Structure 1
Amino acid sequence: MLLVIDVGNTNIVFGVYRGKELLYNWRITSDKDRTSDEYGLLFDQIFKFNGLRIQDVKDIIISSVVPPLMHTLPTMSRRYFNIEPIVVGPGIKTGIDIKYDNPKEVGADRIVNAISGYEKYGGPLIIVDSGTAITFDAVGIDGSYLGGVITPGIKISSEALFLRTAKLPKVEIAKPEKVIGKNTVNSIQSGLVYGYIGMIDYILEKMIREMDYKEKYVKVIATGGFSSLISNASKYIDIIDGLLTLEGLRIIYERNR
């Protein structure tokens, strides 16, 4: 089996593949203070709960945007799985032409998503990843990475509103039935959810124009923890694919094994 691990700022999403089939996938909180031993025991418990054995894992690939965990999880892989993992970064064969001023600046998760999106859906396309940050990544008709946009995520905005105002409460991030709120909680929810829907659609509209393809030819794929909440109301997003990053890690593994 292949263990794929995507480390984000809020969550670690990981899964196991047998060949091209994703058998299981899980989501846990990213904790920079956890040790490699704590992560090893946690993975072992999750595997056992699902009737799996860590000894059945033959390879591991890791993508991370959290620098402290770039040491912790590879150490965990060596100690508990007895495997030297592939870590997505410089020197890894991706098969993608990165048209960025400095390709090393592009987050590993964005490259993984671009590879997966192009492999699954073809190009041109835009990938909207709604997580701690919301990233928009443009991929050309030839599969090249063209660049993108980074904005604060909806959870960051919600927390900032709570922390920087004296009287506004912390609210559940949920989509209210109407835009015009009749109470403070609904008003905040409306501003967050509908505000982000509007922002996403405006950015997508501008990106499609700059990519210089006919609008109907550009596929827009949404992924990430908040993709369903925001993307269902977008007029541009075609597909919600919550497992896009895991599939991209499997593809990169195949290109490097």
Structure 2
Amino acid sequence: MLLAIDAGNTNVVFALVEKGAIRARWRIATDPRRTGDEYAVWINQLLALEGLSMTDVDAVIIATVVPRALHNLQVLAQKYFKVDAYVAGRAPVEWGIVLDVQAPETVGADRAINAIAAHAEFPGDLIVIDFGTATTFDHVDYSGAYKGGIIAPGINLSLDALVSAAAKLPRIAIAAPASASVIGRNTEDQMLIGVFWGYVAMMEGLVARMRREIGRPAKVIATGGLAVLFHEKTDLFDAIAPDLTINGLARLYERSIASQ
């Protein structure tokens, strides 16, 4: 069984993949100081809840955009799963796609993996929107090449910046506004309208500009925790793919192993 680990800026997602299907997934807050031993205690308990043990895992693959987190995850794999972890983007699990940008080595692992998974699942040109700490917009062309994209502040990051810079504004939770009105009658509603509908307008505007530049029809694929929330209020997305990154990791592993 494959343990796929996606270490992002906010959370680390662990997923068990068996015969191409995700059997279980868990997440923990990203902390580069967390040791392999600490990860082991946590994940051993979660495996037990699934009726499994560490011996059921025979391979580990890691993708990370937090370099300091990598070593402890590798220690977890070596010490407790008795395997050397594969690291996405490093031999023998190199991307296998064209990164058609000025500095390919700077492309985040999650974005390259999303490109691999999206191209495998959807035909034609694609715009992949990933809602994370940052919100990224990536163009994957009809051949599967990664052509570049956009990095924007994530909606929670935008809200945190607003609240921390304005002393009298309260902290609110991200949600779809209850009313269709965009004229708020109190401070909380005004903030929610500004953040939520402002973000929708930003997404729709950027996607329209990307489509004009691409010059061909391009489907919009959304992934990340907030994709469903926005999907309820805009027809921007052609598909929601919540497990895109984990599926991409699994595909990358299978392709790399098959080629050895």
Deviation at 1:32, TM superposition (A): 2.2
Query: Which runs of no fewer than 5 residues in structure 1 stay unpaired?
Result: none
Aligned partner of 1:185 in structure 2 is 188
1:93 alignment partner AA? E
Q: Aligned equivalents of 2:253 and 2:201: distance in 1?
A: 36
2:150 alignment partner AA? V
Deviation at 1:25, TM superposition (A): 1.5
Deviation at 1:53, TM superposition (A): 1.0
Aligned partner of 1:158 in structure 2 is 159
Q: Aligned equivalents of 1:71 and 1:78: distance in 2?
A: 11
Aligned partner of 1:97 in structure 2 is 98
Does 2:60 correspond to 1:57?
A: no
Aligned partner of 1:170 in structure 2 is 171
Deviation at 1:48, TM superposition (A): 0.9
Work out the percentage of aligned pairs sharing the same amino acid. Answer: 41
Does 2:214 correspond to 1:208?
A: no
Q: 1:71-118 deviations in whole A, cap 9, x for unaligned?
A: 111111111111101111244322211101010010000000000000
Aligned partner of 2:236 in structure 1 is 236
Aligned partner of 1:21 in structure 2 is 21
Deviation at 1:139, TM superposition (A): 0.6
Does 2:109 correspond to 1:113?
A: no
Deviation at 1:251, TM superposition (A): 0.4
Deviation at 1:174, TM superposition (A): 1.1
Aligned partner of 2:197 in structure 1 is 194
Q: Aligned equivalents of 1:104 and 1:128: distance in 2?
A: 21
Q: Aligned equivalents of 2:86 and 2:231: distance in 1?
A: 32
Q: Which moved more, 1:58-67 or 1:30-39?
A: 30-39
Deviation at 1:19, TM superposition (A): 1.2
Count residues in correspondence: 254
1:200 alignment partner AA? M
Tell me if structure 2 keeps the 8 A contact 1:122–1:143. no
Tell me if structure 1 keeps the 8 A contact 2:124–2:142. yes
Match runs of 1:28-39 below 5 Å:
28-39=28-39
Aligned partner of 2:223 in structure 1 is 223
SS in 1 for 2:67: coil
Tell me if structure 1 keeps the 8 A contact 2:175–2:196. yes
Q: Aligned equivalents of 1:189 and 1:100: distance in 2?
A: 36
Q: Which moved more, 1:101-110 or 1:38-47?
A: 38-47
Tell me if structure 2 keeps the 8 A contact 1:130–1:153. yes
Q: Aligned equivalents of 2:240 and 2:13: distance in 1?
A: 17
Aligned partner of 2:87 in structure 1 is 87
Q: Aligned equivalents of 1:206 and 1:233: distance in 2?
A: 20
- Normalising by structure 2, report the TM-score: 0.94
2:193 alignment partner AA? S
SS in 2 for 1:68: helix
1:149 alignment partner AA? I
RMSD: 1.2
Q: Aligned equivalents of 1:181 and 1:10: distance in 2?
A: 31
- Normalising by structure 1, report the TM-score: 0.95
SS in 2 for 1:9: coil
Q: Aligned equivalents of 1:182 and 1:165: distance in 2?
A: 19
Q: Aligned equivalents of 1:97 and 1:25: distance in 2?
A: 29
Tell me if structure 1 keeps the 8 A contact 2:89–2:95. no
Q: Aligned equivalents of 1:248 and 1:114: distance in 2?
A: 8
